[in-house]
């Protein structure tokens, strides 16, 4: 019984470690666009082709801004200071 519990705990630990590694790898594929004075920074963003990525859009302006990309098939209104 004690050996089975130890095996289960080791398996859970390994799974937890795997998730942290996956999270760390996913963090490398995160790109940020900032809107300030109604302009994107950086003005052009280069990302790897054929890979999933996370795009974070931060609006530092007090008014809402629309983010629209036909290539990414996304359209979203970003709240002011959001």
Domain boundaries, the chain: 2-78
Q: Answer yes or no: is pLDDT of 4 > 90.
A: no
* pLDDT the model gives residue 22: 53
- Give the Å distances, CA to CA, from 52 to 17, 28, 31, 37, 55: 22, 11, 11, 29, 10
* pLDDT the model gives residue 26: 53
Q: What is the pLDDT of residues 41-72, one digit of tens each?
A: 999 988 888 888 899 999 999 999 998 888 88
**pLDDT (average), residues 16-36:** 69
* pLDDT the model gives residue 71: 85
**pLDDT (average), residues 11-21:** 50
* pLDDT the model gives residue 12: 47
pTM of the complete model: 0.61
């Amino acid at each position: 019984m004690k050996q089975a519990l130890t095996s289960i705990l080791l398996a859970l630990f390994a799974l937890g470690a795997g998730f942290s590694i996956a999270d760390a790898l996913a963090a490398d594929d995160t790109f940020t666009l900032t809107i300030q004075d109604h302009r994107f920074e950086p003005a052009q963003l280069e990302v790897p082709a054929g890979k999933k990525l996370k795009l974070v859009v931060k609006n530092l302006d007090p008014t809402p801004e629309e983010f629209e990309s036909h290539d990414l098939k996304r359209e979203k209104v970003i709240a002011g200071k959001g």
